[in-house]
Structure 1
Amino acid sequence: MLEESDGVEMQVRNVRIDESNLSLGDSSPGNEVEDFKHHPAAVRRLLSDESFHAPKQEGTVWSSRLSYLLAAVGSAVGLGNIWRFPYLCYRNGGACFLIPYAIAFCTLGVPLLALETGLGQGLGKSALGAFEDLSPRLKGLGWVCFVSTCGIVVYYNVVLAWCLRYFLASFSALTPDGLPWQNGRSSQYFQGTILDRAFFCGLANDTSSVLGEIEYRDAVAASALQQGSSYVDPWAATGGAPYIGPRDPLSFGQAQWATQILGYSCTGASFNYQGDVSSGNAWALVGIWLITLGMCIFGTSSLKWTLYITVPLPYLMLIVIFFRGITLDGAGTGLAYYMLPDLSRLFVDRVDPDTGQVSPAVEVWMSAVSQIFFSLSLGQGAMITYASYNPPHFPIFRNVLTVAVINSGTELFGGVCVFSILGYLSKQKGVPIQDVVAAGPGLVFEVIPEALSLMPFPGLFCVAFFLMLLLLGLTSAVSLVEAAISIARDQLASLAPRHPAAAWLCRTRGALPSAVCAGLFLCGLALCGRSSADWVDLIDGFISNYLLTLVGLLEFVAVGWIFGSDNFAVVMAARTGWRPSARLGLMWRYVGPAMLSVLFTAGVISSLLHPVTDVGWALAVGYLLTLLPIAAFAALACATPLHHHDAGPALLA
């Protein structure tokens, strides 16, 4: 153990530990006053950091615990709960997905959320500054959080743009034509024959001309497209004869999603056919980013007031959808799929008898962990940033449990709403529930609007539902952008004395948020083409399944091994009054790293054996998104000189 002084004048606070912080998994306080002189130099350096005790700027601190909880819940509860969770659960066998989800919640989600919240509140800095305080060589981990945050918010706001378009389209209920997806609006095109494919392709203006406009070849291409696959040559399977087999009728929700939002046509869509940027999606994306920018510029002082509206309101709408969903004919079929597990899916690869596509068992586990990380905003720096605005006395573990339970409770409740509607559609179409729709990013947009159209005053309910999605998504998007801005600001602050441009960005209100939002918006434009849903699915899969898993693993190693979980507990006790329990220390040091290492290795092997797409260059983009940030972190860590008093104490003990 290092005993020599690190040259820093020691001003250690001896803090009376608040016993209210020591419940819910925290160890006993022990002695109320502790002497820190025997601790390693890096620990003493953190405890003597005067910047932590300096008063924070106005607008950078939560005025109450309720404000922080609303912000943290707003960051956690978002599109991931209503948009992402249902389609992952649907794709991975319904109830069997909930088993690894529950395991991941207890062993990974809560421990890592406690780690990030303690890191932010205890050190009072963004992810970049907090990890650098643990060890200079960990600064790159903050940049990996920056990359993961930016990657997620790029496609996240594209999904919000879809929500905005549906929200605006819902007002068409006031017109004579009614809602675009309302039953009967385009019934002349829906006969369960080739006419429904003509409508899907957007070629039919009326029934008299449709058969003269559409070819069998294009109809089969559309059929393949509706099933979620790329364009296939229908002549190859029939020896040149026209395909005259059965064609599943599209629902109105599916037709609206495919033709109006994604802009599909009979040419098909895949990674190889990006197509023109949709002007409707692009303008909607502009609107989303302008709202996000405005909320970021005005900071926590304005955000905390909007949270009192944007966080509770969605729950009212969910309750309405819940009662309507469970009363639909066939809802029991969907709820059975959601609640009765097929345990074989957890351990045995599944092969689709129709397509031959393999669904690896490890994908169920990877998806469950990724959903926990995605919905709790873990590995993205958002929770560290929000916690850094907390006063030191806020109860950390109690807040962690509150946020985690509300987040997962919302997901499970939202799942009941969606699966009851899927059961209804299954009975209406006469197909097994797993074949109702393609399990992908468009699931909620295809299913929920059609269900809402069955209610009295459907326009009102559709407006309320998509407003709910917008409010949920915007609070999460703002937290992600805030995390990215905080990391960028910390870096620019260190460059400001030598670079006038960096100094200008730091001191000019709105300059840095505008620059960050503009850059992310330009990246998002690339996802507004015809294959946008495919790209969203691919990028979400690689970032959530692999990059966030690696970031979580590195965070566990950083605190549990490099800095040391015992030393981290000392710093937390001195700065916040919260002393993490020995059980949390075991999670940080052993359980978390072991689980994520095994899961990541198995996931990589599975993805190599069963690629998510056969388009090689699209896979290359996904792997680059995962590996480049980690490689850059490793290079930066190796290049950073390690001074004796800055080393992680666990390594030098």
Structure 2
Amino acid sequence: MAASAVGIITLLAVVLAGPLAWAIATYVERRRKAADGAAEAGASEGQVDGKEPEREEMSGVAYTLSLLGYAIGLGNLWRFPYLVGKWGGGAFIIAYLVCLCFVAAPAYLIEMVMGQYTRKSTVGCFKMIHPRWDGLAYGQALILLMVMAYYNVLLAYAVIYIAGSLVDPLPWAADSKNYFNVEVLNGYDDYIGKGLGPVQWKLALGLLVVWLIVFASLSFGQKILTKVTWVTVVGPIVMLVVLLIRSVTLDGAADGIEFYIGKFDSEVLGDLDMWASACSQILFSLSPGFGAAITMSSHTRPKENVFRTCMVVVVCNSAFSLVGGFAIFSIVGNITFRLNAAGGVLDKATGAMVATTVAEQARAGTGLAFIAIADGMRAFGSGTNAMSVLFFTVLLTLGLDSTFCFAETFVCYVEDYLLVKGSKPAKWKIVGCTCAVMYLMGLLFCTRMGIELLDTIDHYCITYYLLLAVALEAFMFTFDFGWRRLVVHVKLATLGNLRTPLGQDVVPSFFWRLAIHITMPVCSLFLFFYILSTDVVEPYGGYPVWMNGIGWSCLAALLAVTPLGFARSLKSGTGSTLPPLEQDEAALAAAFGIKSTLPPLGQNEESDLAEGATA
């Protein structure tokens, strides 16, 4: 093996492209401000008339990009194809889309509205709605800690592959699956008598690189993060299109695509385990229940149309997963084609070479995306190293967008807590401490059984708690925030906007009310108790008892924190600090020139208000 000049040059170009574009944009912006006479010394420090602004705000474009980066993450190409392969193709996609419409999308919408309305991060938002819900907020803060600890280890895999892309021939050229399982993970062949094992230095080093990038991106405020997000959101979309165009022309690609969208096992639709996986996947991807959408929406402008932004993010996120699935399964089809052309695979039972299928190759486990994309790089001929650098950089940036939002949300929790205590340390210090703690926790997942531990925590924390969290958020919204407040706020916030001069209506009203009040809590709680009963009967994943014990302990910690707010609320007797609904209605009525209180908002909301406007 020798160093690849093409790979090194490509990596340097990728690394330098962002800072160069940033420098040019900053120079142009400063020249424009100088010409307009708008640059003020205090503005650069975030001051207005010598006072601190109440909350740092993002522009509409920055807000949308941040949410897109938060939603479109590594799970779209890492977790989604693996689950499609596990559950037999099209049946899983149907379940995924149903859960999107009736559980995840409504949960996402109410989080965005509540964040914009209260102008507070998750803890402050929930306390403002009613103090009894602050335990749920602390539970979401705790789950963020757990997710950040393991999520960036997946990005460390991408860093290792980027480093491998600088070598010619590629180190996984002979066997991409073996490279991932042995060279990257160095996992055990069995679990008997094994513990976590030693930390693998490659993973530890890759994880350190990831957290250094997170520190550099978050330490200096939303403006810096916005510039980074432009690169980390747009870049993956462009490269996915390139990968898709090339992969669908490979030999055997049609077989992979046929499995992806052509295989439909109707019996699987009756499997509740599949529905639980589908629901947890879309919840993991959009990530309501983490509180990040609330915190990010608290930074958006008061006149931002969060309903429209919600629709844009929901559609784009799922479209990315579905399109990415075409690329991944085209490559899986090509892998199957080449294996069969070479004589098939070894049957361990008979010792003979037998033909393999797309279904068998698609069940490569959680490393499917890494194995498939690594193998697919061989299709680019002389450009193999350059494309390998680019595509694994895409996987890295996909994950970075999500971890930026996770970390920013947690940092915001800490900042808000310290402000209440009368302290305001520099943001870089808070970010630095957070990154250091998360790196040390992440080393547990860099051990020889790290990926099994990762899968265990992902199952017990993400699958369970997100289902519970969105159900509780539905109850909180129904009993303490209210549908009418949401409708009035969205209308009032968007009045006079260019696209919505009469304000944005939440349409179709009957669907959103049905989903938020009924399907969102009922489906979530049903799946929560179903997988709970399943795991009690049979230990998850066939992992050792001690590893499942870690998963149960983490879940127990989350469940223990959640009801604390109810206990404190009953003891103190404190209630909601939301403004009276009548105040919002009066402001909306005044905006339309209506002197009296508005009648109940129903299906004819827009016509009622329009009549008031013309009057």
- Indicate whether 1:87 and 2:82 are aligned: yes
- Structure 1, unaligned stretches of length 5 or more? 1-53, 184-251, 349-360, 497-502
Amino acid at match of 2:153: V
| Whole-angstrom CA distance in 2 between matches of 1:543 and 1:635 | 19
Q: Deviations over 1:58-115 (max 9, x none)?
A: 98211x3111111110111110111111111111212111011010111112211110
Are residue 455 (structure 1) and residue 380 (structure 2) matched?
yes
Name the residue aligned to 2:392.
Answer: 466
After the TM superposition, which residues 517-556 of structure 1 pair with which residues of structure 2 at under 5 Å, given as runs?
517-556=435-474
CA distance in 2, matches of 1:610, 1:100: 24
Alpha-carbon separation, structure 2, partners of 1:476 and 1:432: 34
509 and 347 in structure 1: CA distance in 2 versus 1, 3 angstrom threshold: closer
CA 56–332 in structure 1, closer or farther in 2 if over 3 Å, else same: farther
Q: 1:141 aligns with which of 92, 112, 136?
A: 136
C-alpha distance in 2, partners of 1:55/1:120? Answer: 23
TM-score (norm 1): 0.73
CA distance in 2, matches of 1:182, 1:144: 44
C-alpha offsets along residues 311-363 of structure 1, whole Å, 9 cap, x if unaligned? 11112211121122211111121111111243344345xxxxxxxxxxxx222
**Which residue is 2:368 aligned to?**
443
Residues 250 and 330 of structure 2 are in contact (CA less than 8 Å); yes or no, is this contact kept in structure 1?
yes
- 2:525 is the counterpart of 1:597: yes
The aligned counterpart of 2:118 is 123
Residue of structure 2 equivalent to 1:646 = 576
**Superposed counterparts of 1:248-397, under 5 Å:** 252-264=175-187, 268=190, 272-347=194-269, 361-397=271-307
2:559 is paired with a residue whose SS is helix
Give the whole-Å Cα distance in 1 for the aligned partners of 2:52 and 2:515: 32
8 Å CA contact retained: 1:127, 1:381: yes
**Does the CA-based 8 Å contact 2:304-2:493 persist in structure 1?**
no
Q: Do the aligned residues in 2 keep the contact of 1:59 with 1:301 (CA within 8 Å)?
A: no
Secondary structure, in 3 states, of the residue corresponding to 1:389? coil
Q: 1:611 to 1:389 in 2, by over 3 A?
A: same
Residue 608 of structure 1: which of 523, 528, 536 is its match?
536
Who is 1:167 aligned against?
A: 162
Report the secondary structure of 1:327's partner residue. Answer: coil
Distance 1:342 1:56 in 2: 57
Does residue 325 of structure 2 align to residue 415 of structure 1? yes
Higher helix share: 2
1:144·1:633 contact (CA, 8 Å) conserved in 2?
A: yes
Q: Among 89, 94, 97, which residue is 1:99 paired with? A: 94
After TM superposition, give the deviation of residue 160 of structure 1 in Å: 0.4
CA gap of 1:270–1:326, structure 2 versus 1, over 3 A, is farther
User: CA offsets, 1:289-318, max 9 Å, x none?
Assistant: 111111111121111112222211112211
How many pairs does the alignment contain?
503
Quote the residue 1:492 is aligned against: 418
> 1:420 is aligned with what amino acid?
S
The 3-state SS of whatever aligns with 2:203 is: helix
Partner of 1:182 in structure 2? 173
Distance 1:648 1:509, change over 3 A: closer
Q: 1:632: which partner in 2?
A: 561
Query: Which one-letter code corresponds to 2:186 in the other structure?
Result: G
Could you say which residue in structure 2 is the equivalent of 1:211? none
Q: Say whether the 8 Å CA contact 2:149–2:441 is kept in structure 1.
A: yes
Structure 2, unaligned runs of 5 or more: 1-49, 340-354, 496-503, 581-615
CA contact (8 A) 1:392 1:575 kept: yes
> CA 1:129–1:59 in 2, change beyond 3 Å: closer, same or farther?
closer
Length-normalised TM-score, structure 2: 0.78
What letter matches 2:479 in structure 1?
A: W
What SS is found at the alignment partner of 1:475?
Answer: helix
In the alignment, does 2:32 pair up with 1:60? Answer: no
**How much does 1:575 deviate?**
5.7
Distance 1:436 1:363 in 2: 21
Q: Aligned partner of 2:475: which letter?
A: V
Return the letter of the residue paired with 2:170: L
Question: What secondary structure does 1:412 align onto?
Answer: helix
Q: Say if 1:644 and 1:626 are closer, same or farther in 2 by CA, change over 3 A.
A: closer
Paired position in structure 2 for 1:564: 482
Q: 1:626 to 1:649 in 2, by over 3 A?
A: farther
Choose the corresponding residue for 1:618, options 533, 547, 551.
547
Aligned mates of 1:89, 1:492 — CA distance in 2: 44
Tell me, yes or no, if the aligned pair for 2:95 and 2:269 is still in contact at 8 Å: no
User: Who is 1:224 aligned against?
Assistant: none
CA shift at 1:516, angstroms? 1.6
| 2:107 corresponding residue in structure 1 | 112
Q: What amino acid does structure 2 have at the position aligned with 1:417? A: A
- Whether the 8 Å CA contact 1:270–1:531 is kept in 2: the answer is no
SS of 1:596's partner is: helix
Q: Does the 8 Å contact 1:270/1:534 carry over to 2?
A: no
SS in 2 for 1:526: helix
Which residue of structure 1 aligns with residue 401 of structure 2? 475
What RMSD over aligned residues (CA atoms) do the two structures have, in Å? 2.3
Report SS of the residue matched to 2:447.
coil
Percent of residue pairs identical: 29
Q: CA contact under 8 A between 1:122 and 1:572: conserved in structure 2?
A: no
Matched-pair contact (CA < 8 Å) for 1:59–1:300: no
Cα distance in 2 between the residues matched to 1:538 and 1:428: 33
Structure 1 position 57, deviation (Å): 3.5
User: Which shows bigger deviation, 601-610 or 99-108?
Assistant: 601-610
Over 3 Å counting, the alpha-carbon distance change for 1:89 and 1:437 in structure 2 is: closer
Opposite residue 629 of structure 1, the aligned amino acid is L
Q: Distance in 1 between matches of 2:110 and 2:124?
A: 15
Q: Identify if the C-alpha distance between structure 1 residues 347 and 322 changes in structure 2 by more than 3 Å, giving closer, same or farther.
A: closer
The answer to whether the 8 A contact 1:561-1:589 is kept is: no
Separation in 2, partners of 1:299, 1:648: 28
**Rounded Cα–Cα distance in structure 1 between residues aligned with 2:445 and 2:109:** 34
Q: Do 1:331 and 1:420's aligned partners in 2 also have CA atoms closer than 8 Å?
A: yes
Answer yes or no: is the 8 Å Cα contact 1:87–1:443 preserved in 2: yes
- Partners of 2:289 and 2:391 lie apart in 1 by 29
> 1:405 is matched with which residue?
315
Residue identity opposite 1:463 in structure 2:
V
Q: Is the 8 A contact 1:559 1:568 kept in 2?
A: no
CA distance change for structure 1 residues 380 and 452 in 2, over 3 Å: closer, same or farther? same
